């Protein structure tokens, strides 16, 4: 079962396309463009890679290329607006690529039909923008097909059709996607792809204006400096089943993703409403039954992370292996991979009421938006754990919590703020609000989600990046600058990590034998 789960797990990797990918490219193009000439020849593909290898980007899953975007740099004035696809690409050879050009020209974007709906095209468009910015190019231009026009060609002009697509009166599988990715239509061009009968040989001339000019030799996968955090202050409510619960989860993931967040944080035991199903059982038996849903929820949460292109810190859920009941938080990355962190310290109530046991390890996890740690609720009240994570170069600490009263919340909140200051990192916390009648030990909730920073001139004077209204269902979306952490650690007014008296004391993790 475990082996089968590993085989089905997505492992998405963004990288430059290689010549060895040709068979995968050929498979995708032959399927998508079977009515427009099919795939490039291997020689054409080889010429494209040779002309501008940095501009040919793809996404692989478990070693197989499943999506790609091809581009070249051109001196746009040499071609002007009334060009054809063959003219600007040199009939597919890319011998028109000009290292001194001013425009990134997007030639093709395609996604394997089995991967439709996972928003891989959006990722590829985002990387194109990154390349454009890092090469200091004026804009991205592309000729866009309008395949849906075939259904309206007898009743309206291409321009009228495009206007209706812009106004969302008509959906076009290509143009609607491009407009959603911040491209605007400059004009309609004719005979762009004569073989494109669906578009009646018309195309949109699309442009994305580059307003940033960041210089960096690495065009893909730069370490992010500005990271956007999305925190969900979750309202406990009755859910009929897992589908009902996940519908609400997806609503918030979609909302946070809409603000282009890199992370979405959910609270500890956000799935507790499902305990109502086991209300006739003893509390310890009920929570073990709740643990039966954990694998399904994690799997669906991982799918959401991939589909909505953000990393999800999935609060926490109970895990029961038949011998030990533990509280675990899952990190579901947007590349399809997963990690988990167990709660180490169990409160007296959790131990006596449910029989929870603590985990035995702590880790810093690498993500595409910094190195993160996770401490579940009570764990953040132990400063040693935060310091151990800081010594492993943690940038952001996520703390999903559940507290019933204000004094319990204030313990977590005060300690979280302390961890940010003493470890020179960002700390994001969120819990749940509302009430759950007839669910024992989870009946009332108190929360005020927040993001904390170090306390120095580069940060907010009160070390509060953002804070939610208390006891209301809401979200926080805010940016944190990881470069400021480096500055703080090297040149801050005080430097807690650097100035520790290691000649006098240290914290040592005792490995379990």
Residue 362 has pLDDT above 90, yes or no: yes
**What is the domain partition of the chain in residue ranges?**
12-209, 226-491
Position 210 scores a pLDDT of 86
Q: Is the pLDDT of residue 192 over 60?
A: yes
CATH class entry, domain 12-209: alpha beta
Long-range contacts at 87-94 (CB < 8 A, ≥ 24 apart): 88/143, 92/40, 92/44, 92/47, 92/48, 93/44, 93/47, 93/48, 93/51, 94/47, 94/48, 94/50, 94/51, 94/52
Residue 3: per-residue pLDDT:
46
Per-residue pLDDT reduced to its tens digit, 410-421: 999 999 999 999
Q: Which residue did the predictor score with more confidence, 186 or 218?
A: 186
Does 268 qualify as catalytic in the annotation? yes
Q: Let me know if 377 is a catalytic residue.
A: yes
Q: Does residue 465 register a pLDDT over 90?
A: yes
Which of the following is catalytic: 60, 268, 350, 381?
268
Average pLDDT, integer, range 265-279 = 92
Dist. CA 191–CA 110, nearest whole Å: 21
Tens-digit pLDDT profile for residues 328-350: 999 999 999 999 999 999 999 99
- pLDDT score at 225: 87
Is the domain 226-491 a CATH 3.60.110.10 member? Answer: yes
Q: Where are the alpha helices (DSSP H) in 354-499?
A: 383-390, 406-423, 482-491
Would you state the pLDDT for residue 222? 67
Catalytic choice (264, 377, 415, 425): 377
More confident residue, 277 or 311: 311
C-alpha pair distances (Å), 55 with each of 40, 71, 129, 270, 377 = 17, 5, 11, 42, 45
User: Is 312:266 a contact under the CB 8 Å cutoff?
Assistant: yes
For range 461-486, the mean pLDDT: 94
For all residues of the chain together, what is the average pLDDT? 91
In this structure, the strands spanning 184-190 and 226-235 are unpaired
Asked if residue 41 has pLDDT above 70, the reply is: yes
pLDDT tier for residue 215 given thresholds of 50, 70 and 90? very low
Q: Is the pLDDT score of 100 beyond 60?
A: yes
Catalogue the E-assigned strands of 202-322. Answer: 202-209, 226-235, 263-265, 311-313, 317-320
Which of 425, 423, 445 is CA-nearest to residue 434?
445
- At 224 the pLDDT is 79
Burial label for 193, CB within 10 Å (0-12, 13-18, 19+), is: buried
Active site residue 425: no
**pLDDT score, position 116:** 87
- Residue 6: is its pLDDT beyond 70? no
pLDDT computed for residue 164 by the predictor: 95
Which of 8-17, 197-206, 213-222, 285-294 is predicted least confidently? 213-222
Residue 219 has pLDDT above 70, yes or no: no
Is it the case that residue 495 has pLDDT exceeding 60? yes
pLDDT at residue 194, as a whole number: 85
Q: CA-CA distance, 280 to 435, in Å (whole number)? A: 19
Q: Are the folds of 12-209 and 226-491 the same? A: no
Q: What is the pLDDT of residues 423-463, one digit of tens each?
A: 999 999 999 999 887 777 677 899 999 999 999 999 999 99
For the chain, give percent helix, strand, coil, nearest 5: 35, 25, 40
Q: How far is CA 443 from CA 237, 289, 367, 433, in A?
A: 11, 18, 35, 10
What is the value of pTM for the model shown? 0.79
Answer for the pair 349, 441: CB distance below 8 angstroms, yes or no: yes
Interval 162-185 mean pLDDT: 92
């Amino acid at each position: 079962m475990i082996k089968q789960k590993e085989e089905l797990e997505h492992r998405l990797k963004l990288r430059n396309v290689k010549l060895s990918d040709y068979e995968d490219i050929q498979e995708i193009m032959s399927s998508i463009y079977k009515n427009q000439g099919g795939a490039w020849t291997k020689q054409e593909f080889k010429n494209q890679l040779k002309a501008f290898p940095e501009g040919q980007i793809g996404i692989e899953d478990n070693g197989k290329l499943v999506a790609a975007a091809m581009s070249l740099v051109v001196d746009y004035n040499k071609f002007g607006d009334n060009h054809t696809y063959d003219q600007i690409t040199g009939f597919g050879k890319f011998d028109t690529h000009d290292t001194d050009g001013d425009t990134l020209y997007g030639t093709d974007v395609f996604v394997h039909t089995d991967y439709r709906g996972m928003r891989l095209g959006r990722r590829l468009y985002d990387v194109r923008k990154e390349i454009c910015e890092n090469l200091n190019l004026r804009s991205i231009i592309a000729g866009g097909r309008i395949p849906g026009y075939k259904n309206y060609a007898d009743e309206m002009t291409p321009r009228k059709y495009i206007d209706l697509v812009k106004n969302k009166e008509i959906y076009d599988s290509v143009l609607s996607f491009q407009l959603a990715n911040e491209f605007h239509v400059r004009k309609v061009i004719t005979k762009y792809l004569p073989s494109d009968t669906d578009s009646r040989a018309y195309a949109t001339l699309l442009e994305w204006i580059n307003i940033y000019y960041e210089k960096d030799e690495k065009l893909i996968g730069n370490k992010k400096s500005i990271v956007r955090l999305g925190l969900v202050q979750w309202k406990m409510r009755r859910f009929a089943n897992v589908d009902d619960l996940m519908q609400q989860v997806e609503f918030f993931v979609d909302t946070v993703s809409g603000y282009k967040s890199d992370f979405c944080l959910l609270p500890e035991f956000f799935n507790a409403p499902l305990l109502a199903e086991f209300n006739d059982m003893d509390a310890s038996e009920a929570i073990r039954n709740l643990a039966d849903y954990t694998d399904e929820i994690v799997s669906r949460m991982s799918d959401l992370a991939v589909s909505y292109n953000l990393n999800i810190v999935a609060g926490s859920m109970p895990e029961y292996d038949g011998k030990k009941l533990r509280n675990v938080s899952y990190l579901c990355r947007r590349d399809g991979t997963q990690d988990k962190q167990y709660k180490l310290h169990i409160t007296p109530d959790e131990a006596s009421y449910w029989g929870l046991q603590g985990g035995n390890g702590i880790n810093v996890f690498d993500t595409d938006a910094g190195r993160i740690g996770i401490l579940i609720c009570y764990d953040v009240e132990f400063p040693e754990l935060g310091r151990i994570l800081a010594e492993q170069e943690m940038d952001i600490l996520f703390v999903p919590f559940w507290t019933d009263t204000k004094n319990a919340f204030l313990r977590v909140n005060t300690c979280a703020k302390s961890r940010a200051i003493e470890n020179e990192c960002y700390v994001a916390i969120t819990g749940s609000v509302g009430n759950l009648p007839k669910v024992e030990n989870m009946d009332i909730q108190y929360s005020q989600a927040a993001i904390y920073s170090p306390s120095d001139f580069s940060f907010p004077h009160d070390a509060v990046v953002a804070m939610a209204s208390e006891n209301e269902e809401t979200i926080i979306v805010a940016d944190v600058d990881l470069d400021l952490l480096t500055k703080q650690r090297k040149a801050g007014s005080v430097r807690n990590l650097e100035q520790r008296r290691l000649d006098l004391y240290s914290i040592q993790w005792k490995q379990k034998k």
